[in-house]
Chains A and B, each alone.
Chain A
Amino acid sequence: MSWQTKFGRVAAVLAVMLAALASPLHAQVLNSGASTITLQAVLTDSISVSLSGNAVNFNLTAGSSNNPGSVGVTATTSWLLKPSVGSVNLYAFFSNSAAALTDGAGDNIPSADFQISDNAGPFTTLTSTVPFGGANAGLLVSSVKILGNNKSGTRTDVLNFNINLSTLPNMNAGTYTGTLTIQAQAI
């Protein structure tokens, strides 16, 4: 065997050994341990009602069924709700059905004679018992079913008012004052 042949064989063996040593180093990336960061994001639920005005006047005509309020009031309800909520309800109510408005001298206009029209709908008396206010002194103005696409939303209700004095033809002249409350509930 010539020295050239021997040299060639030795060189080939060395090349194979070098390749074998080099390959694992390049194939084995080095990873650090994974460090974790705990994330907590809180989206707080909320519901609010705002009104475009806070006063309505009535010029009453004795015995008339038609005594509209001086101005309509827009109630804007805004909400951001948890997944478990099924609906958002808007209520109007008095604290006392017998004396929604009173002259303070014993003469009263009951809630049964006070009417609200919501978004140009029919006028309805406040004679229901609702979650707020006195018994038989309220009205469910609107109800919004909460689905996947409106857990965050708003609604506007334009409220128009009327006092029906047809059932109170003998009411004394006087200034009758009262407080109507508008409130929303997510349930």
Chain B
Amino acid sequence: MKTGKIFRIGVVALSMALATSLASAQAANSGAQTIALNATLAESLTLSLSANAVNFTLAAGSPTNAGSTNITATTTWVLKPGRTAVGVYAYFASAAAALTDGAGDNIPSSAFFIADNAGPSTALTSATVFNAANAGMQLANVAITGANKNASRTDVMAFNINLSGGTLPQLPAATYNGTLNIQAQATP
């Protein structure tokens, strides 16, 4: 009798444990709902200048006619993978008439010099991606790596006009005006 009781109690306890276990195994899950995420970091390349005008007081025949002020070009970029370089360029629309008095007397781009970040003064005599032949120069070339796809660069430009070459010592007195362009390009 005693043995039978114990047996019955054991059976009941085992049944209850089994029922509890079965209840835990049967969780109800909903279906998975997805949310599509789209985050765009637009590619950009901008260039800003600290000022937009430079004056020169010329001395006839002199190789040294410095600009009234330096100008800082700040180039800022956010680039996609695959870009390998950012170039900064300075250029005129015309090599023969970088500055002109409007009466046929011109200062060519070969007499216009830029020193970038206190480097050597260089005439604008190269063809670049933006200008007509022999009217520009590349100020800077930045190699793009994994570490600088989002970065900036500053170029401090100092200007000079050299009136000592060719027929420029005979340049007549006048006011000569021109427009220098500064532009950047990311490649490829």
For A37, A39, A41, which residue has the most chain B Cβ atoms within 10 angstroms?
A41
Docked pose: A34 CA to B129 CA in angstroms: 12
Please give the distance in Å from A149's CB to the nearest CB on chain B.
6
A31 CA to B54 CA, complexed, in Å: 25
Tell me the B161-186 residues at the A interface (CB within 8 Å): 161, 163, 167, 169-186
Q: Does B7 contact A (CB under 8 A)?
A: no
Interface string of B134-178 (1 = CB under 8 A from A): 000000000000000000000000010101000101111111111
CA distance A44 to B171 in the complex (A): 11
Expressed in whole angstroms, the Cα–Cα distance for A151 and B168 within the complex equals 11
B120 interfacial by beta-carbon distance below 8 Å? no
Total residue contacts A-B, CB cutoff 8 A: 149
- Complex-state Cα separation, A43 to B174, whole angstroms: 5
B27 CB to nearest A CB, Å: 40
B: number of interface residues (CB 8 Å): 59
Interface size on A, residues (CB 8 A): 30
Q: State how many angstroms separate the Cβ of A77 from the closest Cβ of chain B.
A: 15
Question: Are the CB atoms of A36 and B52 closer together than 8 Å?
Answer: yes
The residues of A that contact B174 with a CB separation of less than 8 Å are 42-43, 82-83
A30 on the interface (CB 8 Å rule)?
Answer: yes
Residues in B neighbouring A151, C-beta threshold 8 A: 170-173
Residues of B within 8 A of A (CB): 43, 45-49, 51-58, 60-61, 65, 67, 71, 73, 75, 77, 79-80, 82-83, 98-99, 101, 103-105, 107, 129-130, 159, 161, 163, 167, 169-188
**Can you name 11 A-B residue pairings with CB atoms under 8 Å?**
A29-B185, A29-B188, A30-B45, A33-B183, A34-B183, A41-B107, A42-B55, A42-B176, A45-B173, A151-B170, A151-B172
Interchain residue pairs A-B with the least CB separation, the first 3: A45-B173, A41-B56, A151-B172
Binding site for B on A (CB under 8 A): 25-27, 29-46, 80-83, 148-152
Other A-B pairs beyond A35-B48, A35-B181, A41-B55, 16, CB < 8 Å: A29-B129, A29-B187, A31-B184, A32-B46, A37-B182, A39-B53, A39-B178, A41-B177, A42-B174, A43-B171, A43-B173, A44-B173, A81-B173, A83-B105, A149-B170, A152-B60
